[in-house]
Amino acid sequence: MLEEAFEKCSKGKGYFGGEKIGYIDIALGSFLGWIRVTEKMVGLKLINEAKTPSLVGWVERFCEDSAVKELFPSIHDIAEGQLEGEAKEAAIEQMSEGLIFLEDAFQKCSKGKGCFGGEKIGYLDIALGCFLGWIKVTEKMVGMELIDKAKTPSLVGWVERFCVDSSVKEVMPEIEKLEEFAKLIQAMLKASPK
């Protein structure tokens, strides 16, 4: 589904919004670390040449951009539980800044409506909504709200509307089960050789 959304949004260009990295790229790119950790743990490439060739190219371009390298923390290190003290605080702050970009993107894309594309849940809502459980788990594990009313009030409203939608409510994973899985992943990553 995300492959199809990329092809429609990019119109043959390198990024979701065209020639340059835009809000949607930043929003989705901020979850690449979690995708990589998941791929490593399950031994399956979720973004691969056979099924998602356009996304593979997008990931390569996005990750090699110098601004991206400076802005985004090592989600992999956060997921592994490798960061402590000031490094952990800096990574959390960077994640929070990324969500502020997403707040701005939501305000511009939604044009005052309830979802990214308007009144109804669309591709981008689904793509980002898939990560809400992991964001909640991250919040629990680091002891801090990343999506909060003070910094991201529009996103808070979107999350609430998205999660209670009848088409979403039945398929959203339980946070407690995701947290158990995240702890299992951390333990396995810590135990595996680098």
Q: At what angle do helices 2-10 and 53-64 cross, to 10 degrees?
A: 70
Mean predicted lDDT score pLDDT of the chain: 81
pTM of model > 0.75: no
What is the per-residue pLDDT across 66-97, written as a single tens digit (0 to 9) for each? 777 665 555 555 555 666 778 777 777 777 77
3-state SS record for 15-39: ECCECCCCHHHHHHHCCHHHHHHHH
Enumerate domains of the chain plus CATH numbers.
2-191 (1.20.1050.10)
Distance CA 64, CA 42 (A): 25
Give mean pLDDT, residues 169-188.
Answer: 82
Give me the residue label for tokens 């689904």: 126
pLDDT value, residue 81 = 61
Determine phi and psi for 115, rounding to 5 degrees. -130, 170
pLDDT value, residue 157 = 96
pLDDT value, residue 101 = 79
